[in-house]
């Protein structure tokens, strides 16, 4: 059984004996069966040992508790329930004081709520992030918290799921007291506090009684239906908090239990818990050693992307040389950075002193020679192979040996870029998503000649930037762009559906923005001009071409597939729809109605098929890596688990049948999976994927 609880007896200054119970389950003291059994046993001993007057509950230095053990959810939870343990703490006749250093999250904070007092160090954080796992704080959290801080504040705290730092948490009443100093000062203070509390009547310190103060929560329902659209957990949480207001503790706990069970067995919880592990797993690449993160980063190109990467580096302690050979561009880039930070000061998310520090760590330059001392250089100019090759030849000339030479290309061949240097082993892709200082994903692209230690440095770079970093193979579009670009949007828009029909289905599926609105946001002009220049004729782009020819470039020109008002709100536009209808007429297509499910199948089953192709080609290491790329790079709805998890949940035989019916060439791996009825965690499937990856890459490790 994983985890234990240690007990040490301490003597307080008044001579009384206090038991210090320490949860011990590295790295985050998750409440695995071993910890729960340990707590149960230690609480029994606390009651039985008359020499002990009170107890302090801690998690040791640096972390109190990261909550229930999420890995147990899939395999089944055994041993005493957390709800019973917390009740035993709360009902103890001897005071139990939580000494919180580091995070107290989920079940960890619920344990703290069961304690009679909560003392915290300045490093402490309180959070009930279960909503992000598709569940709710089901060990009494939805009941004790409203009785502590009120129903409305509880709904916000639980539905947002964001941890709160110690000082704010004390102000909100989540902790009782802040203790200055390190863990040993906290522990000492908690021992003294517990000793003083010994013998007191604890009734009023027990949150598990009575009702929470009356509150009206219908507005909160609407608010979270909007801000957490499509998610089931927030509404269930509000039902539990309503029960806290309306019912006595024991009855309201039954509501919490019932809502918790419904969520736990549902597809959203399973998908979100899968995502929790997928996000962490993608950063682990078998065979790569650990590498030191770069201290200084050069960035070539001070446009939107370059300046975003510069801010991202500066904010994570990496010094930056921002280079643009055009002084005007460089000034424009620096001005954009300064404006962005001025807004942060206005919004009070950063202090002026912090901003001054960040700006001081970015050195603008127009000379390549200033990149000589950089540990990594990221080229972030527009997508032109000749230009990129020229830049890499320059980098080869000026950069020190061992410097990682990275391109932020979103799809050009890394190997062709590497050929422009005498050190192709040092060349890698670092594909940021725009805006680079906001979007969480970094795809690190491995070229056929990239050396393993260079990949390792690129992974360390991503970790230092706090990006969700995924290693992908060198193929057109890499992973996120490649799989998302095959969506069946063209098929729909040229097949009789209007933009609002397609977008409504995608948004109801959970996409933050339908694909047509997304195209309007990105703009049609750049791509259109490029097509014009190359004289491309593509039967799949006739609607696009009609929009482009009519100068309907999207949001930036006030009209695209939709029209836009001054606040960039979109509405259907008869002129745009007439252009689309003319295309249908030319193609002999009739307007159509399709169900949401049919639209989603046409849009996204090709994405699943392409994902399988990436796996069979060894371009992605795991199915879950593809899901991570789509969720964090394209805002694919997290609660479906990403396209691969979604595809598996539909059943691979169903996916295959529909892909074939659409006339697409199915992936061989998908065919095998459909025939063998693989699940996403099937050993045979994962072994096949790993072998495709290894045959492409392992020989180079």
In angstroms, give the least distance from the CB of 573 to ligand TC6.
44
Smallest distance from ligand TC6 to CB 76, Å = 12
CA-nearest of 306, 317, 329 to 361 is 317
In whole angstroms, give the CA distance from residue 627 to residue 608: 10
Nearer to ligand TC6, 71 or 582 (CB): 71
223 included as an active-site residue: no
Three-state SS for 55? strand
Q: Cβ of residue 195: shortest distance to ligand TC6, in angstroms?
A: 30
Give, in order, the Cα–Cα distances in Å from 155 to each of 119, 128, 175, 219, 463.
23, 11, 17, 11, 33
* Distance from chain centroid for Cα 72: 21
Q: Is 637 in the site for ligand TC6 (CB under 6 A)?
A: no
Can residue 114 be called a binding residue for ligand TC6 (CB under 6 A)?
no
Annotated catalytic residue: which of 40, 90, 93, 110? 110
Q: Which is nearer to ligand TC6, 66 or 333 (CB)?
A: 66
Nearer to ligand TC6, 53 or 228 (CB): 228
Q: Which of 40, 78, 93, 130 is catalytic?
A: 130
**Binding test (CB under 6 A) with ligand TC6, winner from 90, 101, 130, 625:** 130
Phi then psi dihedrals of residue 290, to 5 deg: -75, 145
Options 130-138, 305-313, 357-365, 375-383: segment touching ligand TC6 (CB under 6 A):
130-138
Choosing from 59, 137, 424, 452, the residue that interacts with ligand TC6 (CB under 6 A) is 137
End-to-end CA distance of the chain: 36
Judged by CB under 6 A, which of 139, 479, 669, 674 binds ligand TC6? 139
d(CA 574, CA 577): 5
**What whole-number distance in Å separates Cα of residue 3 and Cα of residue 188?**
24
Q: How far is the CB of 288 from ligand TC6 (least distance, A)?
A: 15
> Does 105 help bind ligand TC6 (rule: CB under 6 A)?
yes
DSSP category for residue 620: B
φ/ψ (deg, to 5) at 461 = -60, -50
Of 25-33, 297-305, 333-341, 623-631, the window that binds ligand TC6 (rule: CB under 6 A) is 25-33
Stretch that binds ligand TC6, among 98-106, 185-193, 380-388, 433-441 (CB under 6 A): 98-106
Query: By the 8 A CB rule, do 381 and 394 touch?
Result: no
d(CA 40, CA 68): 15
Nearest residue to the partner ligand TC6, using Cβ: 106
Q: Please report whether residue 28 would count as binding ligand TC6 according to CB under 6 A.
A: yes
Q: Which is nearer to ligand TC6, 69 or 627 (CB)?
A: 69
Q: Please give the size of the binding site for ligand TC6, defined by CB under 6 A.
A: 21
Told to judge if 130 belongs to the known catalytic residues of this protein, a careful annotator would answer yes
280 binds ligand TC6 (CB under 6 A): yes
554 binds ligand TC6 (CB under 6 A): no
256 binds ligand TC6 (CB under 6 A): no
Per-position b or e across 66-94, b if 16+ CB within 10 A of its CB: bbbbbebbeeebeeeebbebbbbbbebeb
Residue with Cβ nearer ligand TC6 (65 or 670): 65
Decide: is 462 part of the binding site for ligand TC6 (CB under 6 A).
no
C-beta of 137 vs 424, nearer to ligand TC6: 137
- HSE of 413 in the Cβ direction (CA atoms, 13 Å)? 7
Q: Which is nearer to ligand TC6, 105 or 692 (CB)?
A: 105
Q: Which of 331, 643, 686 is nearest to 487 (CA)?
A: 643
Residue range at the interface with ligand TC6 (CB under 6 A); choices 15-23, 27-35, 114-122, 683-691 = 27-35
Cβ proximity of 629 and 641 under 8 Å: no
| Of 415, 444, 177, 438, nearest in space to 288 by CA | 444
- Looking at the chain, the number of H-run helices and the number of E-run strands are 31, 20
692 makes contact with ligand TC6 (CB under 6 A): no
Of 102-110, 357-365, 371-379, 547-555, the segment contacting ligand TC6 by CB under 6 A is: 102-110
For residue 397, state whether it binds ligand TC6 (rule: CB under 6 A). Answer: no
Least gap, CB of 276 to ligand TC6 (angstroms): 7
Alpha helices in 588-639 (DSSP H): 596-616, 623-634
Does the protein bind ligand TC6 through residue 106 (CB under 6 A)? yes
CB of 62 to ligand TC6, least distance (A): 9
Q: How many CB atoms lie within 10 A of CB 684?
A: 11
By CB under 6 A, which span of 135-143, 571-579, 613-621, 683-691 interacts with ligand TC6?
Answer: 135-143
- DSSP class of 105: E
Residue 26 Cβ vs ligand TC6, minimum distance, rounded to whole Å: 9
In angstroms, what is the minimal distance from the CB of 358 to ligand TC6? Answer: 23
For 109-136, letters b (16+ CB in 10 Å) and e give: bbbbbbbbbbbbbebbbbbbbbbbbbbb
Among 129, 488, 611, 643, binds ligand TC6 (CB under 6 A): 129
Cβ 113 to ligand TC6, closest distance in Å? Answer: 12
Q: Closest approach of Cβ 198 to ligand TC6, in Å?
A: 30
Question: Cβ 117 to ligand TC6, closest distance in Å?
Answer: 21
Q: Which of 68, 525, 444 is nearest to 264 (CA)?
A: 68
Residues 19/52, Cβ–Cβ less than 8 Å = yes
Q: Which of 3, 59, 138, 333 binds ligand TC6 (CB under 6 A)?
A: 138
The helix (run of H) or strand (run of E) holding residue 684 is helix 683-697
Which are the contacts of 44, defined by CB distance < 8 A and separation ≥ 6?
none
Q: Looking at 3, 107, 447, 647, which residue binds ligand TC6 (CB under 6 A)?
A: 107
Residues 29-88 that bind ligand TC6 (CB under 6 A): 30, 66-71, 82
d(CA 408, CA 304): 12
Element (H, E) at 473: strand 468-473
Give catalytic residues, as residue numbers. 110, 130
Q: For binding to ligand TC6 (CB under 6 A), which residues are involved?
A: 27-28, 30, 66-71, 82, 103, 105-107, 129-130, 133, 137-139, 280
């Amino acid at each position: 059984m994983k985890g234990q609880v240690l007990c040490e007896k301490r003597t307080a200054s008044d001579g009384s004996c206090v038991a210090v119970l320490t949860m011990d389950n590295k790295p985050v003291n998750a409440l695995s069966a071993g910890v729960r059994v340990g707590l149960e046993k230690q609480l029994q001993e606390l009651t039985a040992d008359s020499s002990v007057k009170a107890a302090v509950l801690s998690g040791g230095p640096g972390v109190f508790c990261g909550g229930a053990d999420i890995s147990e959810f899939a395999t089944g939870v055994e041993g005493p329930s957390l709800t019973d343990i917390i009740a035993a703490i709360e009902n103890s006749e001897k005071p139990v004081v939580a000494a919180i250093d580091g995070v107290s999250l989920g079940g960890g904070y619920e344990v703290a709520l069961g304690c009679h007092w909560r003392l915290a160090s300045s490093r402490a954080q309180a959070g009930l992030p279960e909503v992000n796992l598709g569940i709710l704080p089901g060990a009494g959290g939805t009941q004790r918290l409203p009785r502590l801080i009120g129903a409305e504040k509880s709904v916000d705290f639980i539905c947002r799921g964001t941890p709160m730092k110690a000082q704010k948490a004390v102000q909100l009443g989540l902790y009782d007291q802040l203790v200055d100093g390190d863990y040993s000062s906290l522990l000492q203070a908690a021992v003294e506090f517990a000793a003083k509390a010994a013998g007191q009547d604890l009734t009023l310190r027990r949150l598990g009684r009575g009702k929470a103060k009356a509150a009206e929560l219908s507005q909160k329902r609407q608010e979270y239906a909007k801000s957490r659209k499509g998610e089931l957990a927030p509404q269930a949480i509000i039902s539990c908090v309503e029960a806290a207001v309306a019912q006595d503790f024991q009855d309201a706990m039954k509501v919490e239990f019932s809502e918790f069970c419904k969520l736990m067995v549902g597809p959203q919880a399973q998908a979100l818990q899968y995502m929790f592990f997928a996000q962490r797993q993608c950063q682990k690449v078998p065979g790569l050693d650990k590498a030191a993160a770069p201290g200084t980063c050069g960035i070539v190109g001070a446009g939107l992307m370059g300046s975003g990467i510069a801010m991202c580096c500066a904010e994570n302690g990496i010094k930056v040389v921002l280079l643009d050979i055009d002084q005007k561009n460089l000034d424009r880039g620096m001005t954009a950075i300064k404006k962005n930070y001025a807004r942060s000061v206005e919004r009070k998310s950063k202090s002026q002193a912090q901003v001054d520090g960040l700006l001081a760590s970015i050195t603008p330059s127009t000379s390549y020679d200033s990149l000589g001392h950089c540990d990594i250089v990221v080229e972030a100019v527009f997508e032109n192979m000749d230009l990129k090759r020229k830049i890499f030849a320059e980098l080869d000339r000026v950069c020190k040996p061992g410097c990682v030479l990275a391109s932020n290309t979103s799809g050009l061949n890394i190997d062709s870029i590497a050929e422009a240097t005498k050190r192709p082993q040092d060349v890698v892709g670092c594909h940021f998503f725009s805006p680079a200082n906001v979007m969480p994903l970094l795809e690190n692209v491995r070229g056929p000649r990239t050396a393993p230690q260079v990949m390792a440095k690129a992974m360390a770079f991503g970790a230092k930037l706090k990006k969700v970093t995924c290693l992908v193979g060198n193929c057109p579009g890499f992973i996120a762009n490649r799989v998302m670009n095959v969506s069946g949007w063209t098929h729909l828009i040229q097949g009789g559906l209007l933009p609002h029909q397609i977008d409504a289905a995608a948004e109801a599926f959970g996409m933050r923005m339908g694909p047509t609105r997304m195209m309007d946001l990105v703009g049609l002009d750049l791509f259109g001009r490029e097509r014009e220049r190359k004289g491309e004729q593509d039967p799949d782009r006739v609607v696009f071409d009609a929009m482009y020819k009519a100068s309907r470039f999207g949001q930036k020109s006030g009209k695209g597939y939709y029209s836009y008002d001054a606040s960039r709100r979109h509405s259907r536009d008869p002129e745009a729809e007439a252009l689309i209808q003319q295309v249908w007429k030319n193609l002999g297509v009739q307007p159509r109605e399709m169900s949401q499910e049919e639209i989603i199948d046409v849009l996204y089953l090709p994405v699943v098929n392409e994902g399988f192709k990436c796996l069979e080609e060894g371009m992605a290491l795991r199915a879950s890596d593809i899901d991570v790329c789509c969720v964090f790079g394209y805002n694919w709805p997290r609660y479906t688990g990403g396209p691969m998890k979604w595809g598996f949940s539909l059943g691979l035989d169903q996916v295959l049948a529909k892909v074939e019916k659409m006339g697409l060439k199915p992936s061989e791996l998908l065919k095998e999976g459909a025939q063998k009825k693989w699940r996403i965690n099937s050993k045979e499937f994962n072994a096949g994927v790993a072998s495709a990856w290894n045959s492409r890459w392992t020989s180079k490790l």
